[in-house]
Structure 1
């Protein structure tokens, strides 16, 4: 039986990924700090409760996989957070935790599982963000972490022939999750609402779809990916266009806030 490790497994996207992997017959190690959330996952998964900002957690996960299955075919790096406190007001602890979870954790967990992935000629699939292509004024630390994660994965992909490990990046636009509701309530980027937020299952389908159709990078939706790439050919123009784009997005943001009773 093939084995997958999914981080952020108790969250909306992670839970949807776990369900689809179980349906495909994989043994899933579900990694999250949320013990109650892990209990809501399918009974077939093996929960691994840990805080991925703890340096000891990476070897803990790797040991659990070695002892419980002896192999790892797929690693899904999905865990992430966003700090919406204005940069100059955010605490050092907030900013550090954002970088630890969004950037350092996927790097170091991939490193801890690398021998098993290499032996299985496995795959690393990471849920990154279109925020890895387009900087967000309200969450520059998030942008930094996602730009960095994308760079790490693209660099690792350069060694695919050498390592035998396939790399896939999935960059979703806004997804209707508790994290997006947190952003809507606390001053996150209005640009999240230029398009309609997608459902977690859409992202999960793209993640699991990479098992059958490996692809280095998938942008969701694809049209947004092309628009962002084209816009970033002239970052100065994007900076000047920001007020116009944010004004255009605010009506949709207000509708979203009303939908969830966010004041």
Structure 2
């Protein structure tokens, strides 16, 4: 039986990934700090409750997987948070935790599980973000963490022939999750609503699909990916255009807020 480790497993995307992996016959180790959320996952899932900002957590997860299954075929890096407090008002602790969970945790957990992944000639599939390509004024720390994570993964992928470990990056646009609702309520980027937010299940389908059809990078939707890549050929122009783009997106943001009872 193949073995997968999924972080952020209690969240909308993570839970959907776990369910699909179980349906495909994987033994799943679900990693999250949310004990109640982990309890809602299918009984076939092995819950590993830990805080991925704690340095001891990476060896703990690797030990649990090695002792419980003896192998690791897939690591899905999915856990993440966003700080929407204006940068000049955010605390050092807020900013540090954002970097730890979004960037350092996937790096260090990948490192801890790498020997098992190499033995299995496995895959690392990471849910990153189109925010790894387009900086967001309201959450620069999030942008920094996602830009950095994408760079790490692209660098790791360059050694795939040497290591035997495949790498796939999935960059969704806004996804209708509690994190997006948090952003909508606390001053996150209106650019999240230039298009219709995706469903978590649609992202999970792509993540799991990459196990059968590996691809270095997938942007969701593809049209948004091409738009962002083209726009970022002219970053100064994007900066000037931001007020107009946000103005265009605000009606959709207000509609989303009304639908979810966000004042």
Indicate the TM-score class for this superposition, using the shorter chain for normalisation. Answer: over 0.9
Q: What displacement does 1:244 show? A: 0.3
The corresponding residue for 2:100 is 100
In the TM superposition, what whole-angstrom CA distance separates every residue of 1:83-124 from its partner, at most 9, and x where no partner exists?
000000000000000000000000000000000000000000
Q: What displacement does 1:27 show? A: 0.1
Matches within 5 A, 1:127-206: 127-206=127-206
- Distance in 2 (CA, whole Å) between partners of 1:166 and 1:222 is 22
- Distance in 1 (CA, whole Å) between partners of 2:64 and 2:172 is 30
- Distance in 2 (CA, whole Å) between partners of 1:36 and 1:60 is 20
Q: Secondary structure at the match of 2:4?
A: strand
- Distance in 2 (CA, whole Å) between partners of 1:211 and 1:42 is 21
- Distance in 1 (CA, whole Å) between partners of 2:84 and 2:78 is 19
- Distance in 2 (CA, whole Å) between partners of 1:211 and 1:52 is 24
Q: What displacement does 1:74 show? A: 0.1
- Distance in 1 (CA, whole Å) between partners of 2:205 and 2:238 is 31
Q: How many residues align?
A: 263
Matches within 5 A, 1:40-51: 40-51=40-51
The corresponding residue for 1:58 is 58
Q: What displacement does 1:31 show? A: 0.1
Q: What displacement does 1:148 show? A: 0.0
In the TM superposition, what whole-angstrom CA distance separates every residue of 1:153-212 from its partner, at most 9, and x where no partner exists?
000000000000000000000000000000000000000000000100010000000011
- Distance in 2 (CA, whole Å) between partners of 1:134 and 1:113 is 30
Q: Secondary structure at the match of 1:188?
A: coil
Indicate whether 1:213 and 2:194 are aligned: no
Q: Secondary structure at the match of 2:81?
A: coil
- Distance in 2 (CA, whole Å) between partners of 1:12 and 1:66 is 27
Q: What displacement does 1:21 show? A: 0.2
- Distance in 2 (CA, whole Å) between partners of 1:188 and 1:33 is 24
- Distance in 1 (CA, whole Å) between partners of 2:70 and 2:133 is 36
Q: What displacement does 1:23 show? A: 0.2
CA RMSD of aligned residues (A): 0.2
Matches within 5 A, 1:86-125: 86-125=86-125
The corresponding residue for 2:75 is 75
- Distance in 2 (CA, whole Å) between partners of 1:213 and 1:244 is 38
Unaligned runs of 5+ in 2: none
- Distance in 2 (CA, whole Å) between partners of 1:67 and 1:164 is 22
Structure 1 segments, 4+ long, off by >3 Å, are none
- Give the TM-score normalised by structure 1: 1.00
Q: What displacement does 1:11 show? A: 0.2
The corresponding residue for 2:21 is 21
Q: What displacement does 1:71 show? A: 0.1
